[in-house]
Amino acid sequence: MPRRFRWTVPYLFLVPGGLWLLAFFVVPMVVMASVSLQQGSLAQGYAMTFNFGIYAETIARWSSQFLRSIEYAVIVTVLTVLIGYPMAYTIAFRGGRAKNILLLLVILPFFTSFIIRTLSWKLLLADNGIVLGTLKEWGLLDSGFRLIATPIAVISGLTYNFLPFMVLPLYVALEKVDPRLIEAANDLYASRVQGFLRVTLPLSLPGLFAGSLLTFIPAVGDFVNAQILGSPDTTMIGNVIERLFLSNNDYPQAAALGFILMAAILAMVLVYARLIGSDKLTTG
Amino acid sequence: MPDDPRQPDAIDAAIQRAFEPRRRLSRRAFITQAGRGGVILGGALSLPAILAACGIAPAGSRTPSGSTGGSPTPLPTKAGIVNFANWPAYIDIDSKTKTYPTLEKFKKETGIQVNYVEAVNDNEEFFGTVQPDLAAGNQTVWDLMVLTDWMIERMVRLGYLAPLDHAALPNFTANADALYVNPWYDKGNTFSAAWQSGITGIGYNPKLTKRPITTFDDLLDPAFRGRVGMFSEMRDTMCMALLSLGIKPENATVDDVKKAADKLKKARQAKQFRNFYGNDYYNELANGNLALTIAWSGDVSQMRLADNPDVQFVVPQSGGMRWVDNMCIPKAPKHPTDAHAMINFWYDPVNAKTLSEYIGYFSPVKGVPDLIRKDAAAAAAKGDKATAGALTTKAAAVTPSPEALKNVYTYKVLSEAEERQWNDLFQAVVTG
């Protein structure tokens, strides 16, 4: 390639990804934006009326499901950090020879469909199933006790399903931390706790950030866990969208909800990035 | 678009329409705008124009092609496969080999392989999965689907079904029971043939309820809080609630539905319901997660045989719903000849008998009870009293008794506006 065209190379590398996103992200987005502003019905067809009012209506109508989804997703993200950080830390610093096996174990659940795994939870934790039924027979639990169809079940299911998405980025970040930096901190009279807080934790922030995004964003929009493990009182915004789209054929409202969800997530991610500090994320 | 003539090439027209910006700018306006903004995007490619171009064409005509003339296109030659979407627990299955004996028999007789999938859990949910393809005029993956009467009515109205070629269905002509011929939702059986019929009532486990269940309001008894199931299908749940208020679903007004929705909503807010289920309520009732639930008659009789002998079915005093599930072929099917062969096969009384001996809904085929009684006599002659007894009970159950038909009702035909109002009210019940 002639020297004067060399500047185009990085852009050429972006072409396949760019086209892909154009076809499978931008175009569907435009169609959905259009659908959200249309009015009509299945038999009459939908026509564009620029009905922006639907956004206000939709927010007002589904605010409680919205807040619940965000609440669940925040709890899930915090739980995955609390469970996943020690896991990733141990694998990165103490894994030794077992490192690869431990990592394989983390991703092993992906070898089967997460729907199957969530359904098996439902069987395991059934009111009179293997676990609860046995405990009830021993008199350790009240006969009316249940886990399925409660918020606890939904949040546990989400936490379980998204844990690997937290552990893997954290592992990658922690793996890169140079142990000599921690030694240096200790040499300079930092306690182990101080060393962790002043050296390891800040260096793992990019992993923490990536992990929480990978957990929080899909968790807000998830509908499978609430559908399988939940009850009418744990309905999340994903369930509402799914129902509006597939059962009620109310495409405009469903599309509008999708955009509101996207905007809300974007806003929250920006605030989060600010709080952590974007300089720390890029310089790592 | 009320007077849009719906010809076969309507799809082409729709596509053309879709690519034609509604707010077309004159050349002059284009130049002015482009000049003003200095950007091409300001003109013909403006976002509003793009957005407006994405309108969704109407689903079908008022008078779908073929429904009046009833002259379906001649069937092509057999393809050797049929993709069949049905509900769970709706066919005879050999629990040891996990095969479907009657489908094996069908393959032996006709050489057609059946790709049988339990793909329908809920009418609306299934409709949602096939609707985009049908609206766009594409082939779906199905050749044959089993859907409930009111859904057939909607699909016919939207022009989503292929007319049946009755010349290819001699068994239907000869053996269909009068109750299932020329039904309210599909005059002349132009698009559908009954698969099975049943009643929506209440299924309950007396060991868990510790008392007999007699009426809809028992589902709202606080003693059963959190162990009650409802259906996610709006029609069954709403109609049962309407009946409990003494309102016949056929005559229900939107105000009536509001009352019924309020009644259900109050119960849901009190955490009375464990969840709103599709056909998946079956396992929840069988394994005791649910003490009582809205249920379909045949599911419960099957559950008593296969999964949980304690469970009982009752038509509530307030009333139940009678429905008919129908085989139908989607518009532009891949293998119509094979699908017709399958429909015809099920109207052979012997095949219908095998099915009924297993699933226990009402059969739309004449002579099935007699054939079951014959099997019962044969079993008795062999000294197998248990089987003989079970078959005798079955024979009586495959046709609805006059008493059973007294307290059951059919769905209301909903206009699209009504359906939306009902759906909105029900959605507020379902989502907390």
Per-residue model confidence (pLDDT) at position B59: 58
CA distance A221 to A66: 10
Widest CA span in chain B = 96
* DSSP codes, A157-202: HHHHHHHHHHHHHHHHHHHHS-HHHHHHHHHTT--HHHHIIIIIHH
> How much is the average pLDDT of B273-285?
92
Write out the two tokens for B65.
């092609």
**CB contacts, 8 Å: B234 with chain A:** 247
CA distance B24 to B15: 17
User: To the nearest whole angstrom, how far is the Cα of B110 from the nearest Cα of chain A?
Assistant: 36
pLDDT in tens, A230-248: 998 899 999 999 888 888 8
Q: Are residues B90 and B101 in the same domain?
A: yes
User: To the nearest whole angstrom, how far is the Cα of B52 from the nearest Cα of chain A?
Assistant: 5
Q: Examine residue B191 and state whether it is found in any structural domain, yes or no.
A: yes
Q: Examine residue B16 and state whether it is found in any structural domain, yes or no.
A: yes
Output the CA–CA distances (angstroms, integers) from residue A284 to A89, A192, A277, B64, in the order listed: 17, 21, 11, 64
pLDDT band at B177 (very low <50, low <70, confident <90, very high): very high
Q: Examine residue B340 and state whether it is found in any structural domain, yes or no.
A: yes
Which residue range(s) make up the domain with B151? 81-196+324-383
Q: Which of B52, B57, B289 sits opposite A127 (nearest CB)?
A: B289
Output the CA–CA distances (angstroms, integers) from residue A102 to A84, A99, A167, B154, in the order listed: 13, 5, 11, 54
- Cβ-defined contact of B58 to A45 (cutoff 8 Å): yes
- Cβ-defined contact of A149 to B58 (cutoff 8 Å): no
Q: Which of the 8 DSSP states describes residue A38?
A: E
CB A221 within 8 A of CB A261: yes
What is the percent of chain B with per-residue pLDDT over 90, rounded to a whole number? 63
Q: Which of A128, A233, A247 sits opposite B288 (nearest CB)?
A: A128
Mean pLDDT of all residues belonging to chain A: 90
Q: Examine residue B63 and state whether it is found in any structural domain, yes or no.
A: no
What is the amino acid identity at position B89? A
Give the residue with greater pLDDT, A104 vs A144.
Answer: A104
Q: Examine residue B397 and state whether it is found in any structural domain, yes or no.
A: no
**CB contacts, 8 Å: B1 with chain A:** 44-45
pLDDT band at A142 (very low <50, low <70, confident <90, very high): confident
Instruction: Tell whether the model's pLDDT for residue B111 goes beyond 70.
Output: yes
Per-residue model confidence (pLDDT) at position A96: 86
pLDDT in tens, B318-361: 999 999 999 999 999 999 999 999 999 999 999 999 999 988 89
Per-residue model confidence (pLDDT) at position B65: 42
Per-residue model confidence (pLDDT) at position A283: 53
pLDDT in tens, A6-19: 888 888 999 999 99
Place of tokens 């909607």: B154
CB B295 within 8 A of CB B205: no
> How much is the average pLDDT of B11-36?
37
Mean pLDDT of all residues belonging to chain B: 84
- Cβ-defined contact of B432 to A33 (cutoff 8 Å): no
User: To the nearest whole angstrom, how far is the Cα of B272 from the nearest Cα of chain A?
Assistant: 10
Which domains, from first to last, does chain A contain? 62-283 (1.10.3720.10)
Q: Examine residue B67 and state whether it is found in any structural domain, yes or no.
A: no
Place of tokens 């970040």: A173
* B212 φ/ψ angles, rounded to the nearest 5 degrees: -70, 145
pLDDT band at B24 (very low <50, low <70, confident <90, very high): very low
**CB contacts, 8 Å: B54 with chain A:** 30-31, 34-35, 48
Q: Examine residue B32 and state whether it is found in any structural domain, yes or no.
A: yes
Compute the Cα dihedral for B63, A248, A49, B134 and give only its sign. Answer: negative
A64 touches chain B (CB under 8 A): yes
Q: Are residues B112 and B175 in the same domain?
A: yes
A231 touches chain B (CB under 8 A): yes
Q: Are residues B207 and B297 in the same domain?
A: yes
Q: 3-class SS at A113?
A: coil
> How much is the average pLDDT of B6-20?
39
> How much is the average pLDDT of B218-227?
95
- Cβ neighbours, 10 Å, residue A22: 10
ipTM: 0.74
> How much is the average pLDDT of B4-27?
38
Helices (H), ranges, chain A: 9-21, 27-36, 53-94, 99-107, 114-124, 130-137, 151-176, 179-187, 192-195, 201-221, 224-229, 237-246, 251-276, 278-283
Instruction: Tell whether the model's pLDDT for residue B18 goes beyond 80.
Output: no
Per-residue model confidence (pLDDT) at position A281: 64
CA distance A91 to B128: 45
Write out the two tokens for A100.
């690869």
Per-residue model confidence (pLDDT) at position A274: 87
Q: Which residue of A has its CA nearest to B291?
A: A127
A280 touches chain B (CB under 8 A): no
Instruction: Tell whether the model's pLDDT for residue B15 goes beyond 50.
Output: no
Q: Indicate the pairing of strand B273-277 with strand B228-231.
A: parallel
Per-residue model confidence (pLDDT) at position A145: 87
Residue B202 pairs in a beta bridge with B294, B314
* Interface size, chain A vs chain B, as Cβ–Cβ contacts under 8 Å: 122
Q: Are residues B278 and B149 in the same domain?
A: no
Any idea how long chain B is? Answer: 432
First to last CA, chain B: 37
Least confident of A23-37, A73-87, B28-42, B62-76: B28-42
Q: Are residues B261 and B113 in the same domain?
A: no
CA distance B156 to B161: 6
Q: Are residues B181 and B96 in the same domain?
A: yes
Give the residue with greater pLDDT, B307 vs B231.
Answer: B231
Q: Which residue of B has its CA nearest to A33?
A: B51
* A44 φ/ψ angles, rounded to the nearest 5 degrees: -85, -15
pLDDT in tens, B386-430: 889 888 888 888 888 888 788 999 999 998 889 989 999 999 899
Helices (H), ranges, B165-253: 170-175, 206-209, 234-244
Q: Are residues B302 and B410 in the same domain?
A: yes
pLDDT in tens, B38-90: 333 333 445 555 555 556 666 543 334 434 434 556 788 889 999 999 999 89
Q: Are residues B132 and B238 in the same domain?
A: no
Place of tokens 């099997």: B375
- Please list, in sequence order, all residues whose beta carbon lies within 8 angstroms of the beta carbon of residue B69, skipping any fewer than 6 positions away: none
User: To the nearest whole angstrom, how far is the Cα of A227 from the nearest Cα of chain B?
Assistant: 9
Q: Are residues B249 and B360 in the same domain?
A: no
Any idea how long chain A is? Answer: 284
**CB contacts, 8 Å: A249 with chain B:** 127-128, 131
Per-residue model confidence (pLDDT) at position B307: 87
CA distance B4 to B10: 9
**CB contacts, 8 Å: A128 with chain B:** 287-289
CB B284 within 8 A of CB B277: yes
Output the CA–CA distances (angstroms, integers) from residue A192 to A34, A182, B38, in the order listed: 56, 9, 63
- Cβ-defined contact of B432 to A129 (cutoff 8 Å): no
Q: Are residues B220 and B292 in the same domain?
A: yes
Total count of domains within chain B: 3
Q: Are residues B267 and B205 in the same domain?
A: yes
Q: Are residues B288 and B353 in the same domain?
A: no
CA distance A151 to B344: 49
Q: Which helix (H) or strand (E) holds B41?
A: none
Domain harbouring B161, CATH code: 3.40.190.10
Q: Which of B223, B369, B219, B350 is nearest to B285 (CA)?
A: B219
Q: Which of A44, A244, A246 sits opposite B58 (nearest CB)?
A: A44
Per-residue model confidence (pLDDT) at position A245: 87
Q: Examine residue B271 and state whether it is found in any structural domain, yes or no.
A: yes
CA distance B135 to B58: 8
Give the A window 34-63 contacts with B, CB below 8 Å: 34-35, 37-38, 40-48, 50, 62
Helix axis angle, A27-36 relative to A251-276, nearest 10°?
120
Per-residue model confidence (pLDDT) at position B101: 94
